[in-house]
Structure 1
Amino acid sequence: MKIPTLASRLALCGLIGLCTAAPALAADDAYPSRPIHLVVPFSAGGQFDFLARLMAKSMSKNLGQSIIVENVGGAGGNVGGAKVAASKPDGYTLLEYGGNFAIAKYLTPNLSYDPVADLVPVAAISIAPHVILAGKALPAKTFKDMVAYAKANPGKLSYGSPGVGTSMHLTFEEVRQHFGFQATQIPYRGGSNMLNDLAGGQIGVGIVAVGPALPFIQSGKIRALAVTGKERAPSLPDVPTISELGYKGFDSGSWAGIAVPKGTPQPIVDRINKSVNTALHDPEVLKRFHELSFRPLPGTPAQFRQMIDEEAQRYGPIIQALHLVQK
C-alpha cells in the first residue's frame, strides 16, 4: 500500500476544510433569507424608535427582506441590549445601539452582560444635537442670561433631563461645569414629560434632543437657548452653539447605530454595514434627517467602534465625579 506523501495529505486536509466551510460561506452569501428583527431598547414614540423605523424601511429595500422593529424597553436600554446579546449570532437580530451602552458599565457595573464586549459594532447611523431650553417662567432670553441668573441666584435654577446618566444629563453637567454655575437636575422618564413640565412652568430649564423639542419651540411655549452640536442645527438656524458661546470645540449629541451579537460572521456584519450606508444615501432618509437635525454618520465597523470607545472615555469620569454609579 502506497503511503501518501506529506504534500498529498496537506492537500487532502485543505480540500476537507473547504468542504466543511462551504455551508457557512453559502449561508453568508444567502443572507438574508428571512425577515430581520431590529430591537429598539426604548419605548415606542421616541427619537430612537423614529430613527429605527425610518432606517428599517430603507434597509429592507436594499436587503430584500422586511425588517421588523421590536421595542424592548427597560433599565436604561439594558433589557433590550441583554436580549440581543443572548440571541443567535446569525444576523437576524439587530440592536439599535446608542451612547447609553457605551457608558453602561460605568453606571451599572453588575449587569448580566457586557454591553461592549458582548456586542459587535456594525455601523453608526446618525447623531442629533441636544438643545438647551428655557420656559417662560425663567427670566432669561439667552444662554448668557441663564448663566447670569444661575450665578446671581445660587441654588434656585433647576433643569430637567430625560433621565439620570443620559447623554443629555451628562452634556448639561459638562456645560454647567465649564461655565461655572449651579443647577439641580430633575430627572424624568423620557423627554416628553420633561417638555410638558417645562412648557407648564414647573421647571425653568431643560435639555433634550432637537427633534422632540421643535413643536414646543415653534409654538412659542419654550425658548431655545443653545444647541450642543459642532454646527448650528438646520431646523434651528438662529440658535447659537455652545462652542460659539465660549466653550470652543464643544460637540455633543444623541447618536445611534447598529450592533449584533458577538460571534456574528464577518461577511454578515459587512453586509449589514453596507445596507446601513446605502440607507444613509437614500433621499427620503436624508430629507427627514435634515428636517429633524440628524447628521448622518456613514462609515465602517472600526469607525463605529472608535466612536463607542471615545464616548466611554469622555463620560466615564463625569459619571464617577457625579457619583452616579448604581449598585
Structure 2
Amino acid sequence: MFSKSLKGKIALALGACIIGTSVAAADFPTRDIRLIVPWPAGGGADAISRKISNIAEDELPKSVYVENIAGAVTATGLIQMTNSRPDGHTVGVLTYDSVITLPRGQMVPGYSLDNMTPIARITTEADAIVVSKHSGINTFEELVEAAKASPGTVRVGVAPKGSGPYLSVIQLEKLLDVDFNVITYAGSSSAEAEALLSGELDAAISSLGDFSGIIASGDVKGVVELSSVQNLTYTDVPTISSKGYDLQTGSFIILSAPKDTPPEAVATIETAFKTAYDSAEFQDWLKQVGVTPDWLGSDEVKGWMDELQNKTFKLMDELNL
C-alpha cells in the first residue's frame, strides 16, 4: 500500500502531466509544420498542397513547409509521416493510391491507413483523357476510331497497375470495345506530361489539373472527362456521359496526421486549412487549374474513405484486378 505522502506525490505528478499536455496542446504549433507530399514536385498533388498550405500558414503562429518524399506509390513518404511523433507537427497528403492502390495490393510492409488520423478532404479531380498534338487526334470520337482501326497501337499513358488511371483505362477498353497500347509510368503525372510533349504517347489519363500547364501551352488537348458533371474551368472538354457512356473515376487530396495525434492539434490544423480553403485566393486558383473544391471535415472524411474503398474493391474483384 502507498503511504498518504507517496499517494499525494503521485497525484501531483499525474496532475502535472495532464496540465503539461493541455498546455502543449493549447500552444500548438510550437514549431513549423512539416507537410509531406508523397509525390515528386511538379505534379497536381504537389501544386494543390503547396498552394493551400501557403495560405493556411497565415492562420498559424508557425510556418508550413512542404517536403516531397516520393516512392512506393506514396508509401515511402506516408510511412515517414506515420512514424513521426504524433503531435501535429508532421502531416501528410493522401491521394487515390494511398487509399486504394496500396491497401488493395498490401504491397508495402508497415503501410496502413489504421496508422493515420484523417483531417480533411480538400479537392476531388475527375480523370480525363488528354491527347498530344503529335498524335493527330483532336476529339474523343477520333481517339475511339483510331483505336478501333488499329487495335493495340494508340499509346495511352497511365499510372502503374492498381492505380486509378489504370483502372480507368481497363474500364474504358471494355466500355468502348477497343484495345489500347497501355503504357504505365511510375511517379506523378509529370512523367506522362514529358512523354506527351516528346510524342512518346498519343494520350494519357489523369486529371485536367495535372496537365493544366501543357493544356494552356497548346501541347496537349483534353478530349473527354470521365465524369457526369461539366468542368466549369475546361468548358470545352465534354463529359463522357454526354457521349452516352457512364464512367466516373478520379482522385482527391486528403490531409492526414499520424494515429493518436491530439484532437486539439487536429482541430487547429483543420481550422487553418478550412479558412485557407474558403479564401477567394484558393477558390480562384482552383478554377484556373480546373480542380474541384470538395471539402469534407474530420468528422466525415473517414467514412467517405471507407465507402470508397468498399465500392472500388468490389469493382476490382469484378474486373479481376
TM score, norm. by length of structure 2: 0.86
Q: CA deviation at 1:202?
A: 2.7
Partner of 1:10: none
Structure 1 segment 64-213 matched on structure 2, within 5 A: 64-138=61-135, 140-189=137-186, 190-213=188-211
Q: Deviations over 1:211-250 (max 9, x none)?
A: 34234334433332101244222331111112222234x4
Q: Deviations over 1:39-74 (max 9, x none)?
A: 111112222221121121111111221012111111
C-alpha distance 71-193 of structure 1, shift in aligned 2 (>3 A)? closer
* Contact preservation (8 Å) 1:129, 1:228: yes
C-alpha distance 105-223 of structure 1, shift in aligned 2 (>3 A)? closer
Distance 2:32 2:196 in 1: 42
Q: CA deviation at 1:105?
A: 3.8
Partner of 1:4: none
Q: Deviations over 1:103-159 (max 9, x none)?
A: 244453142223311111111111223320223454543213322332333333331
SS in 1 for 2:243: coil
1:283 paired residue among 280, 283, 286: 280
> In the alignment, residue 244 of structure 2 is paired with which amino acid?
G
Distance 1:30 1:43 in 2: 32
SS in 1 for 2:114: coil
* Contact preservation (8 Å) 1:124, 1:298: yes
Q: CA deviation at 1:19?
A: 6.2
Q: CA deviation at 1:17?
A: 7.3
Distance 2:245 2:93 in 1: 31
Distance 2:173 2:120 in 1: 32
Q: CA deviation at 1:258?
A: 0.8
Structure 1 gaps, min length 5: 1-12
Structure 1 segment 286-305 matched on structure 2, within 5 A: 286-305=283-302
SS in 1 for 2:80: helix
The question of 1:35 aligning with 2:50 is answered no
Q: Deviations over 1:237-288 (max 9, x none)?
A: 111112222234x433221121011111222222222222111111111111
Q: CA deviation at 1:312?
A: 2.0
> In the alignment, residue 67 of structure 2 is paired with which amino acid?
E
Q: Deviations over 1:139-198 (max 9, x none)?
A: 543213322332333333331124333322222323332233222310123323323333
Q: Which sits farther off after the overlay, 189-198 or 292-301? A: 189-198
> In the alignment, residue 225 of structure 2 is paired with which amino acid?
V
Distance 1:237 1:198 in 2: 22
2:262 paired residue among 257, 265, 272: 265
Structure 1 segment 248-263 matched on structure 2, within 5 A: 248=246, 250-263=247-260
C-alpha distance 219-71 of structure 1, shift in aligned 2 (>3 A)? closer
SS in 2 for 1:254: strand
Partner of 1:23: 20
Q: Which sits farther off after the overlay, 301-310 or 56-65? A: 301-310
> In the alignment, residue 199 of structure 2 is paired with which amino acid?
G
SS in 1 for 2:121: strand
Distance 1:282 1:300 in 2: 16
Superposition RMSD in Å: 2.7
Distance 1:230 1:276 in 2: 28
Partner of 2:4: none
- Say how many residue pairs are matched: 312
Distance 1:129 1:265 in 2: 33
TM score, norm. by length of structure 1: 0.85
Distance 2:240 2:12 in 1: 62
Distance 2:212 2:158 in 1: 16
C-alpha distance 28-237 of structure 1, shift in aligned 2 (>3 A)? same
> In the alignment, residue 238 of structure 2 is paired with which amino acid?
P
Structure 2 gaps, min length 5: 1-9
Distance 2:45 2:102 in 1: 21
* Contact preservation (8 Å) 2:73, 2:102: no
Partner of 1:226: 224
SS in 1 for 2:126: strand
> In the alignment, residue 60 of structure 2 is paired with which amino acid?
L
Partner of 1:8: none
Among the aligned pairs, what percent are the same residue?
A: 25
